[in-house]
Each structure stands twice: as structure tokens, then as C-alpha cells.
Amino acid sequence: MADEVVLLDYWLSPYGMRLRIALALKGIEYEFKEENLSNKSPLLLQSNPVHKKIPVLIHSGKPICESVALQYIDEVWNDKAPLFPSDPYVRSQAKFWLDFVDKKVILLWRKIWTTKGEEVEAATKEFIDCIKLLEAELGDKPFYGGETLGFVDVALVPIYSWFYVYEKFGNFSVERECPKLFACVKRCFEKESVSKSLPDQDKVYSLVMEIRTKLGIE
């Protein structure tokens, strides 16, 4: 079992995408186990008995649940592509923005495609305000991590596979609203470790359509 790495994941999960990108950037081989979230595997239930959520990284038999696994990956495989800044102040700031992406951006991004009418309009407006704040934080740097990808980039880039969905349902273009943020995300996507870890925009759109139909908003 030495250094065996397994990822319990679901292809559409932005949290899972982060771990896939981090593992790819560091060149770690792992087994990808796709979960059916409406019929979770015994391995998932046993590995994350508290929340029963993906992603779970299982390293040499030990589970590391959900997004904390990102920092774990960076600490364990620290010889390549460091993601977390070593300076405590810089690290604290990056963690602040990661929390912002989790608490605000991801929740609003869900609202954009799971609601309609005034609700989607309000969510879209708030989402654009949030990504503008993120863009201001980026400034003129190529990446949030500076000259190379950092963990805020890894946390944010899953947004890329949703651009088409935003244009369709939120009726806005990330490129038009936030050109610098768009350029940063595209720059991340140009890296093979990122592009091969993210799903195709059309595949995301098709599933979103299916879910919207089930929710009765199509």
C-alpha cells in the first residue's frame, strides 16, 4: 500500500477538480474513482463518515477529506510545483481568498444555473461583483501565485469549465466583465495539468440542462 493514491471524486465537482489539478501539477499517479452521489460507495461512506462528501484523497490507506486535501498534497509532495506560499503573511492572504471563493463565488455560481427570473439576476449581479474583487486582488500578476500557479489559481480555475453556462444562463461574459481574471484563468488552462483535469464546457452544459429539466426550470 506504500504511497498508493486514490481519489474519490465526481467529474463535475469544482472541489475535486482542484485536487486533480494539484496531483497533475506534481506528477502524482493516482487511481480516480468516480462516485455516484445518489448512490455513494461503501468506500466513500467509510472514508468520510462525517459529511459523506467527495472529494476524498486516500493516501496509503488514510483518507483526507474534502478541500483540506489540497494543502496535504502540497505538503506531502513538496519537491515540485509548490502551491502554498512559504511566507506566513502571504499564505494567510491566499487562504483568505480561497475562503472567499468557497463561501461566496461557488455558492453564487450554483445559483446562476439552478434558479431563474429575479433570483438568477440577483445572483449574477453579486457573482460579477465578487469576481471583480478577485480581479482587483490579482492586479497585474499573471497568476494569483505570482509568476507560477498558486493554490488560489488551482481553487479558482474550475470556473473555466462553467464559462459557457454563465454566458447562457447568467447572460454575461467573464471575459467582458473581468478581462484580467479571464486571461489568468486561460493562462492556467494552457497548462496541460490543468486542461486535462477539467471537463469539457459542452459536457458541463449538457448536464446542467438535464439538472435544470429535473428541477423544472427548463
Taking CB under 6 A as the criterion, the residue among 7, 8, 13, 165 binding ligand GS8 is 13
Phi-psi region of 203 (alpha: psi -120 to 50; beta: other; left: phi over 0): alpha
Q: In what order do the strands lie in the sheet with 31-34?
A: 31-34, 5-9, 56-59, 62-65
Distance (Å, rounded) from C-alpha 52 to C-alpha 37?
9
Which distant-in-sequence residues (6+ apart) come within 8 Å of 115 by Cβ? 123, 217
Query: Do the strands 56-59 and 62-65 form a parallel or antiparallel pair, or are they unpaired?
Result: antiparallel
Which distant-in-sequence residues (6+ apart) come within 8 Å of 194 by Cβ? 21, 24, 25, 149, 157, 188
Taking CB under 6 A as the criterion, the residue among 8, 25, 67, 182 binding ligand GS8 is 67
Taking the complex as a whole, how short is the minimal distance between the CB of residue 54 and ligand GS8, in angstroms? 4
Tally of residues, the chain:
218
Taking the complex as a whole, how short is the minimal distance between the CB of residue 194 and ligand GS8, in angstroms? 18
The mark string for 82-121 relative to ligand GS8 (x by CB under 6 A, - otherwise) is ----------------------------------------
Taking the complex as a whole, how short is the minimal distance between the CB of residue 110 and ligand GS8, in angstroms? 8
Q: Nearer to ligand GS8 by C-beta: 13 or 161?
A: 13
Beta bridge partners of 7: 32, 57
66 in contact with ligand GS8 (CB under 6 A): yes
Q: Nearer to ligand GS8 by C-beta: 68 or 136?
A: 68
Taking the complex as a whole, how short is the minimal distance between the CB of residue 68 and ligand GS8, in angstroms? 7
**Residues 16-55 interacting with ligand GS8 (rule: CB under 6 A):** 37, 52-54
Binding site for ligand GS8 (CB under 6 A): 10, 13, 15, 37, 52-54, 66-67
